[in-house]
């Protein structure tokens, strides 16, 4: 039988560190067995009708039929563990694809109604059309553009959604995209239209790097991916690098607040970080709008 490290009541190691798998003490985790409440890693968790069970509880349950009551397990950031950890990611991909099809059907007029334009004296954010900061995040014109962004959303989004929980993951995605839109609006020519989910996807990339560092995983793959994407960002023509950089920075900062605060102040730090990023976005848009008008 595997030896268990001493733990306190919430599953943290005796030294007060973050929860680690009771069968693999070197692996930090945010998932607990719904029967015995012990923390378990992804290699040990066994899917059940509600949440996940550890191997020992599965064996005991098979022999005795007993099902002790337990609280719903939580992720590393405090979110709920769900049966479908990619649901929000699927919905986001569906929205992007639906908007893409709608633009193909609606043509140029609909595209221009949703683009991120700054402008002054025309139709854009400076004229009060703040919705463009959001609609442009779900807007694509080329097949390759939406294909690359949706692949990135699927590869990065699923694991992040499972680690953060649905609400925190959605907040990360939307705020990263808004930060990318705000930096684009701040810097670029107001008559230059921009579009795409790249800012939000870069936010997921920054958050992935933070999460992998937090879990002590090998950082080399994500570093290579980040470097390659930044090279394309600054060397490939027609790319709004402001959206990429804004999303990347916002995503990394929000992820730090999501996975690093102590449990007793976790919600305060997480909500505070999201509110701060949103406040910076609003302030940047207000200042830029005042300068344009």
Q: Note the pLDDT tens digit of each residue in 183-205.
A: 999 999 888 889 999 999 999 99
pLDDT at 7 over 50: no
**What is d(CA 125, CA 132) in angstroms, rounded to the nearest whole number?**
7
Return the higher-pLDDT residue of 117 and 58. Answer: 117
> Interhelix angle for 220-235 vs 241-259, to 10°?
150
Catalytic option among 53, 140, 145, 244: 244
Q: Kindly report the average pLDDT of the chain as a whole number.
A: 85
Supply the pLDDT for residue 122: 73
> Interhelix angle for 241-259 vs 198-214, to 10°?
30
Return the higher-pLDDT residue of 151 and 33. Answer: 151
Catalytic option among 145, 176, 198, 260: 198
In order of their start, the domains of the chain are 1-73 (no CATH), 87-292 (1.20.1540.10)
Q: Note the pLDDT tens digit of each residue in 91-150.
A: 999 999 999 999 999 888 888 888 898 887 678 999 999 999 999 999 998 899 999 999
Examine the residue annotation and report whether 145 is marked as an active-site residue of this protein. Answer: no
pTM (predicted TM-score): 0.76
pLDDT at 14 over 50: no
Q: How many CB atoms lie within 10 A of CB 6?
A: 7
Examine the residue annotation and report whether 244 is marked as an active-site residue of this protein. Answer: yes
How many residues can be counted in the chain? Answer: 293
pLDDT at 182 over 50: yes
Q: Note the pLDDT tens digit of each residue in 135-162.
A: 999 999 889 999 999 999 999 999 999 8
């Amino acid at each position: 039988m595997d030896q268990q490290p001493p733990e306190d009541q919430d599953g943290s190691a005796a030294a007060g560190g973050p929860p680690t798998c009771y069968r693999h003490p070197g692996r930090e985790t945010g998932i607990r067995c719904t029967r015995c409440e012990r923390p378990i890693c992804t290699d040990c968790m066994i899917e059940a009708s509600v949440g996940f069970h550890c191997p020992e509880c599965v064996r005991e349950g098979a022999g005795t039929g007993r099902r002790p009551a337990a609280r719903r397990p939580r992720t590393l950031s405090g979110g709920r563990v769900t049966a479908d950890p990619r649901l929000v990611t699927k919905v986001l991909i569906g929205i992007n694809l639906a908007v893409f099809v709608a633009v193909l059907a609606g043509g140029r007029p609909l595209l221009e109604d949703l683009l991120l334009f700054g402008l002054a004296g025309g139709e854009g954010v400076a004229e009060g059309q703040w919705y463009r900061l959001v609609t442009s995040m779900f807007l694509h014109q080329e097949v390759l553009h939406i294909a690359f962004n949706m692949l990135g959303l699927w590869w990065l989004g699923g694991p992040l959604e499972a680690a953060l929980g649905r609400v925190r993951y959605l907040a990360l995605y939307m705020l990263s995209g808004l930060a990318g839109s705000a930096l684009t609006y701040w810097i670029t020519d107001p008559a230059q239209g921009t579009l795409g989910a790249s800012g939000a996807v870069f936010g997921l990339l920054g958050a992935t790097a933070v999460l992998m560092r937090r879990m002590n995983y090998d950082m080399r793959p994500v570093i290579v991916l980040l470097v390659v994407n930044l090279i394309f960002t600054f060397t490939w023509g027609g790319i709004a690098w402001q959206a990429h950089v804004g999303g990347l920075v916002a995503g990394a900062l929000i992820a730090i607040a999501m996975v690093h605060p102590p449990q007793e102040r976790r919600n305060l730090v997480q909500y505070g970080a999201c509110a701060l990023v949103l406040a910076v976005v609003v302030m940047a848009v207000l200042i830029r709008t005042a300068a344009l008008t």
